[in-house]
Amino acid sequence: MKLVSLNLNGIRSAVNKGLVEWLKSEQPDVVCFQEIKATPEQINVQDFEQMGYNCYWYPAFKKGYSGTALLSRILPDFVSKGIGTDLFDSEGRVIRADFGDITVIAAYFPSGTTGEVRQSVKMQFLQDITTYLNKLKEDRSKIIITGDFNICHKPIDINNPNKHLQVSGFLPEERDWFDKFVALGWVDSFREFHSNEPQRYSWWSYRSGAKSKNLGWRIDYFMVTEPLKPQLKNADILDTIMFSDHCPVVLELKDL
C-alpha cells in the first residue's frame, strides 16, 4: 500500500498546477488532502474518479477554508468524518477510513499563528484528537494518522530552531504534546528511515525566498501505531514536488 499526504492550500489552485497529472504518474493507493478550501461542487471530481479513486470530501462550513479529503483505489470497509467536536467538525478536519485491519486518518491540525484565540483552539484540538485516537485504539490496533500537524517536533525538524522557540508550531507546549503522543505508542515513520537527516522539510513560507534557501519546517507526518512498525517499507518527503507551500509526504507499507 502506497499512501500520499499533501496540504494543497486550495485544491483548485493545485489542480491548475498539475496535481491530477502528478497523481496519474505517482499512482498512490490512498491520497489524503488537507486545506482543500472547496466543496465537491467546486471540484471536477471526475478527474479523480476516472483514476479509480473512491473519493470522500469533507469541506468546512466556511467557504474557501480548511477541509480535508481522502481518496482511495481500495474500497474502504468503513468511513467516518469528524471527531465529535462541533468546532473542529465544522472545519472539516478529520476523516477516517478502514481497510481491513488498517485504519487511515487524514487530519488537518489547526494553526495558531493568527493569535492567542486560535492558539488556544489548537491546544484544545490536540487534547481532543488524542482522546479520539485513544478511544479508537481500544478497537483498532493498526492506525495511520497523516496530514499537516502544524508542529515541528524536534529542533532537527525546523530551520534555525533557536529563532522559533516562541513561534506557534514550535512552542514548548506543542512539542511537549508531541513527546507525550509518541510515548502513547506512535511512531514517526519518516524518522524510521531518516533518523538523523537534517534540513528535510515539508513546508516553506512564500516569503523571503524560503524554498530556494530551504528555510523550511517539517510539519507534515505519517504517524503509525507500534503494531504497524513491522510493515513499514519506506517513508519520505517529496520536496521537489510543489503544488502549494507544502510538498507531499509518502508512506509505503509491505504485506505481512
Helix (H) or strand (E) holding 9: none
Tell me: the pLDDT tens digits for 69-124? Answer: 999 999 999 999 999 999 999 999 999 999 999 999 999 999 998 899 999 999 99
Largest Cα–Cα distance of the chain, in whole Å?
47
β-pairing verdict for 68-72 and 94-99: unpaired
Count CB-CB contacts under 10 A for residue 93. Answer: 28
DSSP secondary structure letter of residue 157: G
| CATH for 40 | 3.60.10.10
Confidence (pLDDT) at 38: 98
What is the mean pLDDT of the segment spanning 232-239?
98
Work out the mean pLDDT of the chain and round it to a whole number: 97
Check if 148 is active-site: yes
* C-alpha to C-alpha distance for 169 and 153, rounded to whole angstroms: 9
What is the spatial order of strands in the sheet that 2-7 belongs to? 54-58, 68-72, 30-34, 2-7, 249-253, 232-237
Query: How many folded domains does the chain comprise?
Result: 1
* Residue 203, strand partner residues: 217, 246
Task: Please give the radius of gyration of the chain, using alpha carbons only, rounded to the nearest integer.
Answer: 17
Q: Which of 29, 148, 220, 245 is catalytic?
A: 148
Q: Tell me the residue range of the domain where 59 lies.
A: 2-253
Residue-level pLDDT at 148: 98
pLDDT digits (tens, 9 = 90+) for 122-180: 999 999 999 999 999 999 999 999 999 999 999 999 999 999 999 999 999 999 999 99
| CA–CA separation, 168 and 157 (whole Å) | 14
Cα 137 from Cα 141, distance rounded (Å): 5
Phi, psi of 7 (to 5 degrees): -80, 115
